[in-house]
Amino acid sequence: MGKLISLGQYTYYAGWFLRSSFGIKRPLVSTMIINYDCNLRCKHCSIVAHKDELPNPHSMSYDQAVKKMKEHYDRGSRILFFEGGEPTMWKADGKDLRDLIHAGREIGYFVTGYTTHANNVIFEESDVVSVSIDGPRQIHDSIRGPGVFDRMMENLQRTSHPNIFANMVVMKDNKDHVRATVELVSENERIRGIMLNFITPPPQDLALSLEEKMAVVELARRLKREGYPVLNTDKALKELLMEDYGSRCPYWVSAFVLPDGSEYQGCPMRSTDSCKCCGFDAVREYRLISRGNIETITSMSKRFALSGQG
């Protein structure tokens, strides 16, 4: 049965790629920002920086979330990610994040995942979990709050989830701790690798200069050559130095829904000042996939696109 599932997934992705090559542009990834709530106040968080400007409601209802998930599936999405705020805090209509994960599977999504600070709970039900790690203990806590690093590590030790990866946002505060963070991840048996991103302002004062970014990218490429589990592909790392990615960004690959139900084809920051200094690695990987880059397709699919059921 597993081989049949994998074959069906590979066949779908191949069809999606062929259709997109002929100009039929349909989203593949659906990102559900299900709430703005969080029990941390990280210094680089754009939600915290704009909490008074956020539209209501601050949390999506269960029925609305399922409705949007079905709509996006019908349009072509097969990869489903839940974001926040902190998505493990989402609760509505007697449901929690596990119910949304199960609903996504029932709808037919190949992969479900979510991003978390890992200070509350790690839900085993999803196919992939992205844990935010900003550096070793002292650096991580200086960005996210006292005791946050130890609670995250304690929760990681309690889980047996097979597909957890770290997500590091490199900024002024932690740019000199990239190697230490990669080594920390490499030594942790619960984490399968690390994805590096640059901060996408605001806040602008935490963003790196282009020269500082060049040093980080060269270090990341060197760490990959040394055998450390840096998940960014080499070509995508180079493209992270292209700060204004607007003309290259494949907006059509991803679709976003915010807690108030508003939708975006592509990043909600599109056409804003933040878009002109984009630090998200994912959009680079999307572009390379849509252009048939074999290294990226192979590397990203086994981690983020194929169901653990397959």
pLDDT at 10: 87
In the numeric block, the tokens 């690798």 are attached to: 193
Residue 78 lies in a domain: yes
pLDDT at 52: 66
Q: Does the pLDDT of residue 309 top 50, yes or no?
A: no
Structure tokens at 63: 């029925």
Residue 184 lies in a domain: no
Q: What is the DSSP string of 290-303?
A: HTT-HHHHHHHIII
Residue 62 lies in a domain: yes
Instruction: Give dist(CA 254, CA 287) in Å, integer.
Output: 11
Residue 55 lies in a domain: yes
Instruction: Give dist(CA 186, CA 201) in Å, integer.
Output: 28
Count of the separate structural domains present in the chain: 1
Instruction: Give dist(CA 154, CA 220) in Å, integer.
Output: 27
pLDDT at 162: 93
pLDDT band at 174 (very low <50, low <70, confident <90, very high): very high
pLDDT at 2: 47
- The closest alpha carbon to 79, from 64, 69, 90, belongs to 69
Percent of the chain with pLDDT over 90: 75
pLDDT band at 203 (very low <50, low <70, confident <90, very high): confident
The whole-number average pLDDT for the span 159-168 is: 96
The Cα-based distances of 284 to 103, 136, 251, 294, 298 in angstroms read 29, 27, 11, 14, 15
Structure tokens at 181: 């963070």
Instruction: Give dist(CA 230, CA 139) in Å, integer.
Output: 20
pLDDT at 281: 95
Residue 57 lies in a domain: yes
Q: Does the pLDDT of residue 266 top 50, yes or no?
A: yes
Residue 156 lies in a domain: no
Q: What is the DSSP string of 248-285?
A: T--GGGEEEE-TTS-EEES-TTTTSTGGGG---HHHHH
The whole-number average pLDDT for the span 203-220 is: 95
Residue 225 lies in a domain: no
Residue 12 lies in a domain: no
pLDDT band at 310 (very low <50, low <70, confident <90, very high): very low
Q: Does the pLDDT of residue 3 top 50, yes or no?
A: no
The whole-number average pLDDT for the span 174-199 is: 97
For 150, the 3-state DSSP assignment is helix
Give per-residue pLDDT as tens, 75-118.
999 999 999 999 999 999 999 999 999 999 999 999 999 999 99
Q: Does the pLDDT of residue 126 top 60, yes or no?
A: yes
pLDDT at 5: 59
Instruction: Give dist(CA 81, CA 200) in Å, integer.
Output: 19
pLDDT band at 7 (very low <50, low <70, confident <90, very high): confident
CATH of the domain at 60: 3.30.750
Q: Does the pLDDT of residue 254 top 90, yes or no?
A: yes
pLDDT at 49: 63
Average pLDDT score over the chain: 91
Residues 6+ apart with CB under 8 A from 10: none
The whole-number average pLDDT for the span 59-84 is: 96
pLDDT at 308: 53
Q: Which domain holds residue 46?
A: 28-124
